[in-house]
Amino acid sequence: MAIDRRELIVEAASKSFALFGYKATTMERVAKIANVGKGTIYTFFTNKEELFQEIMNRLIQEMKGIAEAVVDPNRRFFDNLNLVLDRLLDFREEHELAIKLSQEVKEISTQMAHEGIQQMETAIVSYIQQQVKQAVEKGEIKPCNPEMTAFVMLKLFIALTADWKKSHEPLNKNQVAQLLRFYLQEGLAS
Q: Are 159 and 141 in contact (CB under 8 A)?
A: no
The model carries a pTM of 0.82
13 falls in which pLDDT band (50, 70, 90)? very high
pLDDT (tens digit, 9 = 90+) per residue, 48-93?
Answer: 999 999 999 999 999 899 999 999 989 999 889 888 888 887 887 7
Mean pLDDT, the chain, whole residue set: 90
Alpha helix positions (H), the chain: 5-24, 27-34, 38-44, 48-70, 77-94, 96-107, 111-138, 146-158, 173-180
Amino acid of residue 82? N
Q: Which CATH superfamily is domain 55-186 in?
A: Tetracycline Repressor, domain 2 (1.10.357.10)
Q: What is the pLDDT of residue 1?
A: 52
Q: What is the pLDDT of residue 91?
A: 84
Report in angstroms the alpha-carbon separations of 32 from 10, 43, 51, 56: 13, 16, 15, 21
Chain CA centroid to CA 72, Å: 20
2 falls in which pLDDT band (50, 70, 90)? low
Q: Which conformational region is residue 37 in: left (phi greater than 0), alpha (psi within -120 to 50 degrees), or beta?
A: beta
How many Cα atoms occupy the beta-carbon half-sphere of 121 within 13 Å? 17
pLDDT (tens digit, 9 = 90+) per residue, 30-40?
Answer: 999 999 999 99
End-to-end Cα, the chain, rounded Å: 68
